[in-house]
Structure 1
Amino acid sequence: MGSSVERVSLAAGNPEGENSAYVLSDRNAVVDPGPPTEDAWERLRAGIEETGLGVGDVEYVFVTHWHVDHAGLVPQLVDATEATVVMHERDAPLVADYAAERAERVDRDARRLRQWGVPADVVEAVQSGDRPSPMPDSLADDRVASVTDGETVAGVEAVHTPGHTLGHAAFVVDEAGEADRTGESGVTTGTPFVGDLVLPTYTPNVGGGDTRLENALATYLESLRRVRSVCDRRGVEAVAPGHGSPLAFGERVDEIVTHHDERSRRTVAVLDAVDDESGSADAERARSDAGATPWQVATRLFGEMEGIHAKMGAGEAASHLEFLRERDAVERVPVGADGVDSAGSADDADGPTSGPRRYRVVDAGRAGVDGVESG
């Protein structure tokens, strides 16, 4: 059988649009099998069989990240095939040990939301609305292969691309494989499979999609640089996203960077305005003593939010504020006589807190996001 890749369009059901699974026929592999619905399962089965494989022929399931719209069909596919699931080691436990990791994640999300200044009733609503996915409590240990950056399984290399999630990975068929023969879908074996790193019409959320990340935006931008380097090295421009059709990577990255550049500048403007609304007649004193939480910034950036949107919006604002803090455009407001800032003594969601984080503008001229060049 010749070397080719076929895209399988799965049912829509989320803001990013319809999921895309990919069948690597010469590797007996599937990338991102899709959400746990009967319709998606039937579409995936039909897509696999159209390549000339039987479902039982699948030996490897590569999953770019733990979100259920990409990993939800993993258990069903493994049951039907006894395939090996390949994920980056930081995301693999959230699928392999779903029940325990989910309980920890829900608690961690709540701690992070409180750190971002989200009101208690909204945090409670996010927690109560976080319904379990139809996933088994765990998968057998011998069914999951946790990989690290640069590791290769079945001739497919994992490229760690955190930002949307902590263990997000792109997958690239190694250069020792068969030549990049194009399948009917227009995807070649040399095309990087990038999950939610970039999407055709939607900007991937950074900050709310995985609350383990401390500086999600800076991490995400570095991942874009890494994949641009991969594309340059391999002489390819197109990438295969987890939603929609293959797209020109460089062009889409430029659009995403422009988007974050504009949001970064708007975040500073909003933060400055929130400071001035503190109620103090002395604006300089307000900036010194008050500042604003990520939630306050988010509500001005995105308007009223509830449920999952509250987590995504607050996380997006927080990621921009931390990015701006690294650039010395904003700073965290110290609280208490001991000068400990609102993050307490730890820089993650699991550490102690003395209240929500608050930020104030230091130098608005430092706002903005640099372009993403290869390196």
Structure 2
Amino acid sequence: MKKKTRRRPYAEQRPQDLGGGVWSVPVPIPGNPLGYTLVYAVESPRGPVLVDAGWNHPDAWEALSGGLASLGLDVSEVAGVVVTHFHPDHAGLAGQVRDASGAWIAMHESDAALVRLMIEYAASEQDGFQSDMLRRAGADPSEVRDVMGTRPTPPAAPDRELRDGDLVDLQGRKLRAVHTPGHTPGHICLHLEDADRLFTGDHVLPDITPHIGIYPYDRDDIDPLGDFMESLDRVGELVPLELDAIEALPAHEWIFPDVAARAAEIRHHHEEKLDRLRALLAQRPEPLTIWEVAAMMTWNRPWDDLAPMLKGMAAGEAAAHLRALEARGQVRRVSGVDPVRFQALDS
């Protein structure tokens, strides 16, 4: 079993020169157990290019701008921000960096489309979408009210869109986008090919695993967990033949030496989770709602102790695992019922 490494709190983090024209700046996420996002800066003749930007909060902005300054970098000289995915702890400050420096913002086209959709949607439309999604999953009315909370402001829309294999505008370096969907549809890792380093965003983290969910929960036209596991295999194949490993520079926790080994561990974790879920469903003769399945699964604390928002995320993850089993022909969704229900198929 992998030995656990103690996650250092934000107060113990410091900006670092990682060598080879790469720096890291820890940026706090207020009120979040993750603690911080590691924002990276990559040297460029036109000014540094940031990988992610951190949460949109005054304390985070002070940490980002001050951290860059402590490394001899000026936020007003940032040339660009490439966002690994649209979540607020990664994209939140990108707009403020652009305002301060005139930098471009780039992200994968799939996440860019989601950002535009979030900007266009009125709050009332989002509330109606979320409440109906929760009801169809089997949450009772009181749970629907509890789960629905405030949402962060959408991130700034990007100026540039990336596709798999595109090189980021980084003069003198080779920083290539690697599409790794799962955590979000447009999540990307960034391979610094001239240094054999991989900025992994949330795709591969050293100790925890990223949230993989389906929204709305009952979609049957996508398989984000299947996509995620294929993406894990893909990053494991990036290691050149002449090397044993590629160093991973993740957005949370700490830098670690072997992205392929950790990707294989995460894949194994999800395979075991799918096996357990299939066995649980096989023990129940009646079809179950997504909410009932989520309550049966193992989380980092008992279901009844989860905060309402975390129950909503757990249901999204349960839905993704059910969808993966459905895609493999191991469970079926019952047609013509509301809320949607799933049942194990005979082996």
TM-score, normalised with respect to structure 1 = 0.75
Deviations 1:311-332 (A, max 9, x none): 2111111111111122222222
Say whether the 8 Å CA contact 1:16–1:201 is kept in structure 2.
no
Q: Which has the higher contact order (CA 8 A, sep 6+)?
A: 1
Taking the aligned partners of 1:97 and 1:362, their CA distance within structure 2 comes to 37
Distance 1:25 1:124, change over 3 A: same
Query: For 1:224-281, what per-residue CA distance to the aligned partner results, in whole angstroms no more than 9, with x for missing partners?
Result: 12212223468442211111221221232232123212211221232233x2xxxxxx
Matches within 5 A, 1:22-171: 22-26=40-44, 28-95=48-115, 98-101=118-121, 103=123, 107-127=128-148, 129-133=149-153, 139=157, 144-155=159-170, 156-171=175-190
1:278 corresponds in structure 2 to none
More displaced, 221-230 or 100-109?
A: 100-109
* 2: CA distance, partners of 1:363 / 1:234: 46
The question of 1:359 aligning with 2:342 is answered yes
C-alpha contact 2:330 2:345 (8 A) present in aligned 1: yes
* Mapped contact 2:290–2:319 kept (Cα < 8 A): yes
Secondary structure (helix, strand or coil) at the match of 1:192 reads strand
Matched, 1:215 2:235: no
Query: Using the alignment, how far apart are the partners of 2:215 and 2:55 within structure 1?
Result: 16
Between the aligned partners of 2:59 and 2:146, the Cα distance in structure 1 is: 29
Q: Any idea what SS the aligned residue of 1:240 has?
A: strand
**Structure 1, residues 336-373: CA drift from partner, whole Å, max 9, x if none?**
xxxxx25xxxxxxxxxxx51221112245xxxxxxxxx
What is the CA distance between 1:196 and its match in structure 2?
0.8
Q: Which segments of 5 or more consecutive residues in structure 1 lack a partner in the other structure?
A: 181-189, 276-286, 334-340, 343-353, 365-375
Correspondence for 1:243: 252
- Give 3-state SS (helix, strand or coil) of 1:53's partner: coil
In structure 1, distance between residues paired with 2:263 and 2:253: 16
- Whole-angstrom distance in 2 between the partners of 1:209 and 1:240: 28
Q: Tell me which structure has the larger Cα radius of gyration.
A: 1
Alpha-carbon distance, 1:97 to partner: 6.4
Is the CA contact (8 Å cut-off) linking 2:233 and 2:264 kept in structure 1? no
Contact kept in structure 1, 2:83 and 2:107, CA below 8 Å: yes
Whole-Å separation in 2 of the counterparts to 1:101 and 1:160: 26
Q: Distance in 1 between matches of 2:241 and 2:67?
A: 31
Q: CA deviation at 1:71?
A: 1.0
Identity of aligned residues (%): 37
1:186 corresponds to: none
Matched letter for residue 339 of structure 2: P
- C-alpha distance in 1 between matches for 2:79 and 2:216: 29
User: 2:24 is paired with a residue of what secondary structure?
Assistant: strand
Give 5+ residue unaligned stretches, structure 2. Answer: 1-18
Distance 1:68 1:195, change over 3 A: same
The 3 A distance-change label for structure 1 pair 234 and 226 is farther
The equivalent position to 2:34 in structure 1, one of 6, 16, 19, is 16
Q: Deviations over 1:50-77 (max 9, x none)?
A: 4433211101101111111111111211
- The reply on whether 1:271 has 2:286 as its aligned counterpart is no
Residue number among 259, 262, 268 corresponding to 2:272 in the alignment: 262
Does the 8 Å contact 1:159/1:170 carry over to 2? yes
Q: 1:132 to 1:33 in 2, by over 3 A?
A: closer
Amino acid at match of 1:266: R
Deviation at 1:95, TM superposition (A): 4.2
Which of 212, 218, 230 pairs up with 1:206? 212
* Alignment partner of 1:225 out of 217, 229, 233: 233
Task: Letter of the 1:262 partner, please give it.
Answer: E
| Residues in 2 aligned to 1:101 and 1:224: alpha-carbon distance in whole angstroms | 32
Aligned-pair CA distance for 1:208: 5.2
**2:21 is equivalent to residue 4 of structure 1:** yes
TM-superposition CA deviations, 1:6-43 (whole Å, max 9, x none): 11112254243421100102362011111112222122
Matched position secondary structure for 1:10:
strand
User: C-alpha separation between the residues in 2 aligned to 1:115 and 1:309?
Assistant: 18
Q: For 2:126 and 2:223, how far apart are their aligned partners in 1?
A: 18
State the alpha-carbon separation in 2 of the partners of residues 8 and 64 from structure 1: 16
Q: Distance in 2 between matches of 1:233 and 1:210?
A: 41
TM-score (norm 2): 0.80
Q: How many residues align?
A: 312
Paired position in structure 2 for 1:284: none
Which amino acid in structure 2 is aligned with residue 270 of structure 1?
L
Label 1:106 to 1:7 Cα distance change in 2 as closer, same or farther (>3 A).
farther
Tell me, yes or no, if structure 1 residue 194 matches structure 2 residue 200. Answer: yes
State how far apart, in whole Å, the 2-side matches of 1:24 and 1:205 are.
27
